[in-house]
Amino acid sequence: MVHQVLYRALVSTKWLAESIRSGRLGPSLRVLDASWYSPGTRQARKEYQERHVPGASFFDIEECRDTTSPYEMMLPSEAHFGDYVGNLGISNDTHVVVYDGDDLGSFYAPRVWWMFRVFGHRTVSVLNGGFRNWLKEGHPVTSEPSRPEPAVFKATLNLSLLKTYEQVLENLQSKRFQLVDSRAQGRYLGTQPEPDIVGLDSGHIRGSVNMPFMDFLTEDGFEKSPEELRAIFQDKKVDLSQPLIATCRKGVTACHVALAAYLCGKPDVAVYDGSWSEWFRRAPPETRVSQGKSGKA
């Protein structure tokens, strides 16, 4: 087997601070703030306008998605993604560093990392520790808006990193892929409600294994070491040498599974983009498992 040389999925705050200080930001290195928060809590764009990593642009996931879909955070088209990131000064030759301001250290950044990869872009990294640790370590911030020169980005969808409802449904029979659900245990089991949404009961896809994405992060908000991550997969009896699909509620924290596996040397984890948001509304009742009041999702 020929081992693929993997691009570094994480960069340190120290590396990014030094890159900014030495003037490396520009067409070859762009930084994105991909923060998103539940409605009625924090305001991501307002916080970005008040302070962000110098030179960072705001990546609005509400604008860079399929707004015609009835499901929550579905991928945009190739053309939509290409135009959107091109307007942020990103070309196919740009190294992109993504962070967010979540208190956990990282929440939405892995989703944007995966979006770039699924649209054929290899040189993308997550800022390890996020904006939380950038601030904690005293690195510079600014309120100055970033106005990069637009670039041309050609997006090419990599279907091997993306799974549809039909493919996950077929997999229930073929069992070619292991299926991992990254939500908190209570939501996976159906004993706790799905937050911020009406009409979506909690529960999980039959046959999926629960690996809460928070387990991949340290208390300080950094990614755990590859050795620690491998131990988590092993503990859940998830075989990293075999095909794997990640799912969650709306295809966001599932990307933490893809990132954790990538850090263990497995770059081919596919994400079920529709996730539970789609599955609950479309799948046969017998494929939805819940320990909630009704006994089924």
pLDDT at 208 over 70: yes
Q: How far apart are CA 140 and CA 226, in angstroms?
A: 29
CA-based torsion, 55, 60, 63, 69: positive or negative: positive
Q: Which of 64, 248, 255, 264 is catalytic?
A: 248
Instruction: From 18, 29, 55, 222, select the one nearest 136 (Cα to Cα).
Output: 222
Instruction: From 167, 42, 35, 156, select the one nearest 101 (Cα to Cα).
Output: 35
Over residues 64-121, the pLDDT tens digits come to: 999 999 988 899 999 999 999 999 999 999 999 999 999 999 999 999 999 999 999 9
- How many residues does this entry show for the chain? 297
Q: How do strand 204-205 and strand 288-289 relate by DSSP bridges?
A: antiparallel
Q: Copy the structure tokens of residue 23.
A: 């003037």
**Res. 173 pLDDT band, cuts 50 70 90:** very high
**Res. 293 pLDDT band, cuts 50 70 90:** low
Q: How far apart are CA 275 and CA 282, in angstroms?
A: 11
CA angle 209, 64, 49 (to 5 degrees): 105
Q: How far apart are CA 131 and CA 110, in angstroms?
A: 14
pLDDT at 133 over 50: yes
Instruction: From 139, 10, 127, 122, select the one nearest 59 (Cα to Cα).
Output: 127
Please say if 248 is a catalytic residue.
Answer: yes
Q: How far apart are CA 109 and CA 13, in angstroms?
A: 14
User: What DSSP assignment string belongs to 107-166?
Assistant: SSHHHHHHHHHHTT---EEEETTHHHHHHHTT---B-PPP-PPP--------GGGEE-HH
Instruction: From 146, 96, 150, 87, select the one nearest 126 (Cα to Cα).
Output: 96
Q: 178 with 172: CB under 8 angstroms?
A: no
